[in-house]
Structure 1
Amino acid sequence: MEATKKYNRIIVILSVIIPLAVAGLFGVKLDIDLPVFLPPIYAGINALTAVVLITSFWAIKMKNIVLHRRLMKTAIFLSALFLIFYVLYHMTSDSTSYGGEGIVKKVYFFVLISHILLSIIVIPFVLITFVRGLTNDIERHKKIARITFPLWLYVTISGVIVYWMISPFYTV
């Protein structure tokens, strides 16, 4: 029980600090040219994370717990890597405006806004689900994983859709 309290404090702290840090770092502009254009890289990481999440879901349905755990650790690593590249891009580049019009623009902003909001909301869900799995609190892990999985999958897939929709408007 004491370990759970410790993890809960860490989860709360990370769930607050991560979005605040990302928002704060958007205001920081570094005058450096990166050797690569990051948006297709972090969109690819998001796509890979979606594949890993789906494969992990399949693994647990096949009762392959070892593979499921490895894949979930990989998904968390990929999400952290995505976040680093995403923040680095926005610290070194100006934001790109979406140039589409009409219904496509409305769809873009719906996907973008839902992606951003759910990417914040999913943080504590991912962390709680992960901790419950690590601590073998399996029944509670399964219960929250039913919520976490579709949220996290939506965030990864919608991130790729946002990239795909805005990519024609990037200036490199």
Structure 2
Amino acid sequence: MLEKPLLTTDRLVLRRWRHGDREPFAAMNADPEVMEHFPDTLSAEQSDALVDSIESGFEQRGFGLWALEIAETGRFIGFTGLSVPRFEAHFTPAVEIGWRLTRSSWGHGYAGEAARRALAFAFDDLALAEVVSFASHSNLRSQKVMERIGMTHDPADDFDHPALDEGHPLRRHVLWRITAEGRRDRPGR
């Protein structure tokens, strides 16, 4: 398993997945509070399959959802990174930025800090023109992160997630965007 690319911030390390991440990742994915804005929690087998899929994405594309750890302690706290949505919508094909953190890691600014680093990689290393993010309409915490990292929301872009049935309470999704030209962390800004 390749360790590159490894991304760092002042407090965090975004890295490839290790076998030891699987147990805390499964515990996080089984937490109903963490998974509140997803259709269901994940079993340990489903969580392991997700890690395998993420790692396959790194091998295929050179980017993915990095395992996230606190630099000072090495404690695994979730993931942040880039992925390619597997469904068709008015904004696909696209590269999405996303995150999922352990409940104990909420409220410390980790999601935004890691997301800003992942966006820098998307624009500076991958030379992407745009990155999107989406979440269920009710996921206000993630939408606040999207706003804090400089993404913009146009309600005309909102959509019904095709993997969720008509009438499902999480079906309506908001779409946020950020372009390489519009990012706030560019030199000279």
Q: TM-score range by the shorter chain?
A: under 0.3
Higher strand proportion: 2
Q: Which structure has the larger Rg? A: 1
More helix by share: 1
Query: Structure 2-normalised TM-score?
Result: 0.22
Q: Which has the higher contact order (CA 8 A, sep 6+)?
A: 1
**What's the TM-score, normalizing by structure 1?**
0.23
